[in-house]
Chains A and B, each alone.
Chain A
Amino acid sequence: EDKVVQSPLSLVVHEGDTVTLNCSYEVTNFRSLLWYKQEKKAPTFLFMLTSSGIEKKSGRLSSILDKKELFSILNITATQTGDSAIYLCAVASGGSNYKLTFGKGTLLTVNP
């Protein structure tokens, strides 16, 4: 059974701190790893990673994948209160009709 584990489950920081969120996985026929941010409603897409060692960056957020060790990290630098959200990691696996397996998410709270 495919498995995606995120850590920590919950994190409270102060504005300006840098955080690292972790995602490890065990899946059959890995295709890609995706990060989403979920505030009050639907998850919004952040990154898709398919190759090891290539960092994806968007503003203060960045992410990297290690396919040998089967994990990914999401970094957020100089956090702001607007970064408070649940961050979800998902792994796409399978054939042409692939599926996404989601982790339980990391609840990040950024205090002013």
Chain B
Amino acid sequence: SQTIHQWPATLVQPVGSPLSLECTVEGTSNPNLYWYRQAAGRGLQLLFYSVGIGQISSEVPQNLSASRPQDRQFILSSKKLLLSDSGFYLCAARLAGSQETQYFGPGTRLLVL
């Protein structure tokens, strides 16, 4: 069965600093991968999704970017963090050939001060 890892679990960063959050998937090939942000513990906002290596679709204009350098690796980045980037970041995977169910990683809690 698949496992989704996210790193780090918690991060405190100053405003203006860079960001790199990593998501890796085990136990499957060619998944669709997603980055979501959840603010104040409610409602998930889709940020980016990827259907393959190097293919990124952005849902919301913002201070963030995403990359997929390998089939099972998805990275969320920023060059300069804003206070409003604070939140809970979740990576999700939809397995190749499966229906619409997305499975989530454990999340990264980001606090920008």
Contact = CB atoms under 8 A, between A and B. Distances in A.
A32 B100 CA distance: 7
A2 to B, nearest CB: 11
A41 B45 CA distance: 16
Interface stretch (A14-22, A71-79, A100-108): A100-108
B103 A45 contact: yes
Interface string A66-106: 00000000000000000000101010100001111111110
B43 interface: yes
A8 interface: no
Interface size class of A (residues with CB under 8 A): 20 to 34
Interface size class of B (residues with CB under 8 A): 20 to 34
Contacts of A90: 44
A101 B100 CA distance: 12
Interface in A34-86: 34, 36, 41-45, 48, 50, 86
B51 interface: yes
A75 to B, nearest CB: 20
A100 B43 contact: no
A27 B31 CA distance: 24
B43 A97 contact: no
13 contacts: A32-B100, A34-B101, A42-B90, A42-B104, A43-B44, A45-B101, A45-B103, A50-B99, A86-B41, A88-B43, A100-B100, A102-B44, A105-B42
